[in-house]
Amino acid sequence: MGESGDVAKLLERASQGDSSAADELALLVYDELRAIASRFRQRERSDHTLQTTAIVHEAYMRIMDQRRVTWQNRAHFLSVAATMMRRVLVNHARDRGRHKRGGAWERIPLDDIIASVQGDDVDLISLDVALSKLGKMDPDKLRLVELRFFAGCSVEETAKILSKSSATVKREWRLAKAWLKSEMSPGDPS
């Protein structure tokens, strides 16, 4: 059985309350989770206060709290991990915004998703709202964005995880980026 099968079995055991499986799982995926969190951090502003390790730990704890998830495989785990990390960062941004009494939200550069913004910062809260909207309209495209942008997967890795061709992933990635660009453009009436 490969590492992907190991992850799926460990996830199943951990979700049933087996703490030794959760510990084994953490050892097996920790470096990969740190890499994902590190990619998140690279997109944050330079004075961002949430450290990579804190993002990983908070996301991992949230994943382990998921009792109603039927874990499919390593790809499913990575997708959930990327989602949890996004939520950790969004919650952190919201908390900081509350502390500033409605002050400016944290901003992240989104050059990979919204090419036309060209270096402008994008409000993390607005991005989360747009991604939530995308998820309601097309959950597959949301998963693709999470894998490509947040988890940092290549086109080939994403294609393998989603069981799609690389050409399909490239086409859907372009569509998702275009939709997000339109959704997050200034002056959008929605």
What letter would DSSP give residue 47? T
> In terms of pLDDT, which residue wins out, 4 or 77?
77
Which SS3 state, helix, strand or coil, does residue 189 take? coil
Average pLDDT, the chain: 75
Q: Kindly report which listed range (5-14, 33-42, 98-107, 137-146) carries the lowest average pLDDT score.
A: 98-107
Q: Kindly report which listed range (16-25, 42-51, 71-80) carries the lowest average pLDDT score.
A: 42-51
Selection from 80, 95, 173 nearest residue 134 by Cα: 173
Highest mean pLDDT of the ranges 7-16, 48-57, 91-100, 156-165: 156-165
Segment 68-72 mean pLDDT: 72
Segment 73-80 mean pLDDT: 78
- Alpha-carbon distance of 43 to 168, in angstroms, equals 26
- Alpha-carbon distance of 48 to 34, in angstroms, equals 16
Query: Over the stretch 101-111, which tens digit does the pLDDT of each residue have?
Result: 444 444 444 44
**Rg, Å, the chain Cα set:** 17
Domain ranges in the chain? 3-184
